[in-house]
Chains A and B, each alone.
Chain A
């Protein structure tokens, strides 16, 4: 405008960064969307096998992980609010809480998968090869979708650790927090996917 506002400001556009993050999130949604599509087609073809398969998963562990992820989604949203209000300490605490929740999620997943592996149920195992087709499809989808989701959790953790370090070194601050915002968006995506994975894999009757 007419303001002679000559700062030595770096060139950046936060709205564009966020739009870029959203475009990436769209590709992620469609990636999982494709898997949900495969799931729904096979579920329609083998309803009984899918039902039996889901009975072998622990609803309790699934529910705990749902609560853990929902809670972590709130804490990372709070970290952003804290950063916007220039409360660096609270922002860092909230990011750390989010990371702890992510670890809790993965530990739960470890025990859940561990029990399946213990029973000889894992991709490529002899038992898997003996299963009925519908059963095999259910467990293949279960392992693939939860593994891909867990991989996203790990990527999200790496991203949040980078964000945490940058908040610590003041490279992210109350006037420049778009990386925290984008990291939070990614974390919410992970939560969003789990919101659909949980009922579809654990709760089908």
Chain B
């Protein structure tokens, strides 16, 4: 049955991903407790990006999904990045 040929993620993989996610959460908290000025936000967002990548890839199984779906998801994130970029350009040159 073609409907059930999807990848099965092992419990161990899921547990490991959770541990990494928790580690990254503590890392964000400890990094942001230091005042590194503008870098704090950048680092916090970078870590959030890594965390969301892990959730998307392993918990949401994107790693094992079709290329079409992976491209679609990437397009949404690129689209959002563009919206933010264009809005900020607009605001800074008014």
Question: In the complex, A34 Cα to B8 Cα: how many Å?
Answer: 34
* Chain A neighbourhood of B35, CB < 8 A: 205
Question: In the complex, A66 Cα to B48 Cα: how many Å?
Answer: 12
* Chain A neighbourhood of B28, CB < 8 A: 198-199, 203
* Chain B neighbourhood of A204, CB < 8 A: 32, 40-41, 44
Question: In the complex, A185 Cα to B73 Cα: how many Å?
Answer: 13
The reply on A59 being an interface residue by CB < 8 A is yes
Once the chains bind, are B17 and A74 in contact (CB under 8 Å)?
yes
| Chain B residues touching A, majority SS | helix
Once the chains bind, are A70 and B18 in contact (CB under 8 Å)?
yes
In the complex, chain B residues 57-94 whose Cβ is within 8 Å of any chain A Cβ: 58-60, 66, 69, 72-73, 76-77, 79-80, 83-84, 87-88, 91
A22-B73, A67-B22, A175-B4 known; A29+B52 contact, CB < 8 A: no
In the complex, chain A residues 17-47 whose Cβ is within 8 Å of any chain B Cβ: 18-19, 22, 26, 29-30, 33, 36-37, 40-41, 44
Which one of B25, B69, B77 lies within 8 Å of A19 (CB-CB)?
Answer: B69
Q: How large is the interface on B (under 10, 10 to 19, 20 to 34, 35 or more residues)?
A: 35 or more
Interface stretch among A102-110, A112-120, A129-137, A189-197? A189-197
Chain B: CB-nearest residue to A189: B60
Once the chains bind, are A22 and B72 in contact (CB under 8 Å)?
yes
Once the chains bind, are B14 and A175 in contact (CB under 8 Å)?
no
Which one of A22, A30, A67, A84 lies within 8 Å of B25 (CB-CB)?
Answer: A67
Once the chains bind, are A63 and B84 in contact (CB under 8 Å)?
no
Once the chains bind, are B32 and A74 in contact (CB under 8 Å)?
no
Which one of B1, B32, B56, B59 lies within 8 Å of A205 (CB-CB)?
Answer: B32
The reply on A150 being an interface residue by CB < 8 A is no
Q: How far is the CB of B94 from chain A (nearest CB, A)?
A: 12
* Chain A neighbourhood of B15, CB < 8 A: 74
Once the chains bind, are A63 and B14 in contact (CB under 8 Å)?
no
* Chain A neighbourhood of B52, CB < 8 A: 192, 195-196
Besides the known contacts A70-B21, A188-B56, 19 further A-B residue pairs in the complex with CB atoms under 8 A apart: A14-B4, A22-B72, A30-B79, A37-B83, A40-B88, A66-B25, A70-B22, A74-B15, A77-B58, A81-B9, A85-B8, A175-B1, A176-B3, A184-B59, A195-B51, A198-B28, A203-B32, A204-B41, A205-B32
20 A-B pairs with C-beta separation under 8 A: A14-B4, A26-B73, A29-B76, A29-B77, A29-B80, A37-B87, A40-B84, A59-B29, A67-B25, A73-B55, A74-B15, A78-B11, A81-B8, A188-B55, A192-B56, A195-B55, A199-B32, A203-B28, A205-B33, A205-B35
